[in-house]
Every structure is written in structure tokens, then in C-alpha cells.
Amino acid sequence: MPERVGFVSTRFAGLDGVSLESAKWARVFWDYEHTSYWYAGRLDRDAESSYCVPEAFFGHPENMWIDQQIWGRGERSRLVTRRIHELADFLKETLYDFVKQHEITMLVLENAVAIPMHVPLGLALAELLAETRLPAIAHHHDFYWERSRFSVSAVEEYLDMAFPPRDPELQHVVINLKGQEELSRRKGVSSLLIPNVLDFENPPEVDWEYTAGIREEIGLEPGDVMILQPTRIVPRKGIEHSIKLVSMLNDPKYKLVISHEAGDEGLDYRRMLEEEAQDENVDLRFISTMIGDYRQISSQGKKIYTLWDLYPHADLVTYPSLYEGFGNALLEAFYFKVPVVINRYDIFARDIEPKGFRLPIMDGYPNRRVAEEVRHILEDKQYREEMTEFNYQLASKFYSYSVLRRSLRTLVTNVTGLSWI
């Protein structure tokens, strides 16, 4: 019998990892006639299957006030405790209504009980599971112990209770080996590792007509080489290493293009990058005003492109991150058959590198060997095409929808006791 799956998070909107991966899960569920419904504080899903509760968004004023009172300090007032419980009780009632309204038979908690961006929502979910015994899967993308901002708190008992809950019937899913080991060590619970995936069984469809002028709009000349940094401008992305790499190539035809704007860390990092690019004589282009979550025409009458519109026009992707929970941009580069140079961040080294992908790898910083390998890739078309085709086929084996399909079949059988086919 098909399940009615209720996805729950603080946000299902935009291009963040939680929103993207949950949509992929829903697509695979639909292949087997399981219908999906969405509960969050912000939603861009179909209205008929959505249940939007603004107070569930991590950026809601009430939750932001609570955050200010509980992080970076070791005690809290009775007022803070009362407001946490009042919001948790309110959210639990809305969750009950969501389950009833859409006749939910199984829940998928998307990072909502892993990282405490919204403590009251986590408490509400822990209590809902204890009270209803609904079959549930907790899909964890990153945990609170991985973020320094959560290292000192006034809510240790809530973290122990709900992030994640030690519910014996809750099935846990992690996206990397480190998360699996730490969850077992800290919480004493087992988990299934399901990596992030892409539809490698079906190559991407490229709209060459819509995107025909994208390089010209960026300001590139016909002979220029576009080196794409497809990330937000935040320090952990290590973009200064991309600037150094392009500087080492020492050719004005190489242009570094950054697709997204600065994150919540502010503009200081962007200013530093601008100064470094100037010092290194690197042509750096910021194009966030051209890139959106979906295609549209701006108020100035100009086309807005998606990130996926950009990949087919890139000659190389740089991904020098210092830390990633997984690395969606890496999979996207493989998917669009664009060569990619990467930093050996921890999750890549443990989970992805052993698979045998062919790509230049920085070990903390770019060196002459990496620069020469990048130059070889960019100047030898046959070598480049062989490399990207090899990576595509290898990614198809380890990170395709077929991998997700097999894993979800196991999960649904575990939580419901019934085969989903």
C-alpha cells in the first residue's frame, strides 16, 4: 500500500542541501506511488501538498530571540524556558494537524532533529514521535557538534533529548561516514549512510537557446576560459585558494567567476577576496545578480539564470572548500562533465576520494603540481573529455538515483514492516 509521506523541516525553499535532497527523495518515492507532503516555515512546494507554519522557520523572530538567549551562555532564565515550551507546544499542535489533514502514514524529518537551528521544533517532533509512534525517518545532514556556534549552550538537556531523539523506532540516515561514527558514539544509535545523489541515469538537459548569451553577459571574450566557483561567498569555501590557483596559471584569459553572494558571515570575506584578487592580478567576476533559484526576467529586463544554466558554459569548476557535509557542487560538476579541482576536505578524503575519481586535488592549498595539472586539463581537449566521462560513469555507480532507490526501499521496509513495492 502506498505511503503518505510527510516531510518536516524549518525550510523547503531554494537551493540549500536540505531542500534539494528532500526533493530527490520525494521524486524516488513518487516512482513507487508514495505521495509526499511538506511541513515547514518557508515552502516553495506545490500549495495543495504544503502546510506552511511561519513560526517553524528558523528565521522567525520568536525563534531568533530564543537563539540569542541560549547559545554562547551556560544558563537560561525561566522566561526563556517558558517561551521555548510555549512555541514547542504550538508547533506540536500544528504538526498533529498536518498529520491529520494529509493523512500522513510516515514522517521524514529533514535535519530538523540534527542541527538545532530551531530548538522548539526539535522538541515538538521528539514529543510527537513519542506520543504517536508514527513510522519515521530522520535524515541528518549535519549535527550540532559539528558547528562551533553550538558548542556552548544553555539547553544541553534539550540537545540530549531531541537532537536527535533516542527513539528506538526512529530510523536514522546520515550522509557521510564521520556523521555515522559520531552519531553512534555520542547517541548510541545506528544509522544508514545514504550519500547525496543526482540523476546520473539521465544526463542533464541543456537549454542552449536560453543560455546562448550567458558568457557575453558575464563579460567574457570568445577566447576567455571561465573558471567557475559555484558556491556562496563564505570563509569555509576557501575561495582564496581559487584566486591563488588562477594567479599561478598566469594568463589573462583565465577568468574566475563566483556564482553566489556572500552568506550570513557578512561582506568582510568578500572584500578580502577582492583585495587578494587585485594583489594577485586575477580577473574576478561576481555574478550573483544574474543567478536565481529559477529562470525569470529581472525588473531591468535581463535574464536570470539558474546555477545549472551556468555549468555547461564553464571550462573548469573550483571547489577548494575547507569543510563540507558532503559536496553537492562536486557531484554537479561530474554531472555536467566539467573538470573540477578540489581541496582535500575531510568528507571528500574519507567518503569520495577512495572511489577513484580523476581530478586535481589540493592538499590544503594550490601548488605548482596542481596548477600544471589544471593547465593540462584546460589545454588538452581529449584528455579533458576522457577525464569527465570517466568521472560521470563512476558517479553513476555510486551517486545515482538507483543508489537512493535501493536505500529507501530498505528504510521504508524497516519503519513500516511492509515492502514498498
Task: Report pLDDT for 416.
Answer: 81
Q: What is the mean pLDDT of residues 181-197?
A: 95
Cβ contact 343:320 at 8 Å: yes
* Torsion over CA: 17, 20, 26, 29 (sign): negative
Q: Provide the grid cell at 139.
A: 535524515
Spatial CA neighbour of 211 closest among 304, 318, 335, 340: 304
- Decide which of 327 and 174 is more confident: 174
3-state secondary structure of 233: strand
Q: Which helix (H) or strand (E) holds 228?
A: strand 225-229
Grid look-up 544554466 returns: 309
**Does residue 179 come out as left (phi exceeding 0), alpha (psi in the -120 to 50 range) or beta?**
alpha
- Reported as a pLDDT band with limits 50, 70 and 90, residue 300 is confident
Chain centre to alpha carbon of residue 108: 17
Cis bond before residue 312 (omega within 30° of 0): no
Could you give the CA distance from residue 403 to residue 406 in angstroms, rounded to a whole number? Answer: 5
Task: Report pLDDT for 299.
Answer: 85
- Reported as a pLDDT band with limits 50, 70 and 90, residue 58 is very high
Please list the residues that pair with 229 across neighbouring strands. 258
Residue type at position 315: D
Residue type at position 61: P
Residue type at position 70: I
Spatial CA neighbour of 9 closest among 50, 64, 48: 50
pLDDT of 221 strictly over 90: yes
- For the chain, the domains span 4-197+401-416, 214-394
Q: What is the mean pLDDT of residues 88-109?
A: 98
Q: Which fold would CATH assign to domain 4-197+401-416?
A: Rossmann fold (3.40.50)
Residue by residue, what is the 3-state secondary structure of 144-182?
HHHCHHHCCECCHHHHHHHCCCCCCCEEEEECCHHHHHH
Architecture of domain 214-394: 3-Layer(aba) Sandwich (3.40)
Q: Provide the grid cell at 176.
A: 557521510
- Reported as a pLDDT band with limits 50, 70 and 90, residue 125 is very high
pTM of structure: 0.90
pLDDT of 183 strictly over 70: yes
Please list the residues that pair with 6 across neighbouring strands. 37, 107
pLDDT of 420 strictly over 60: no
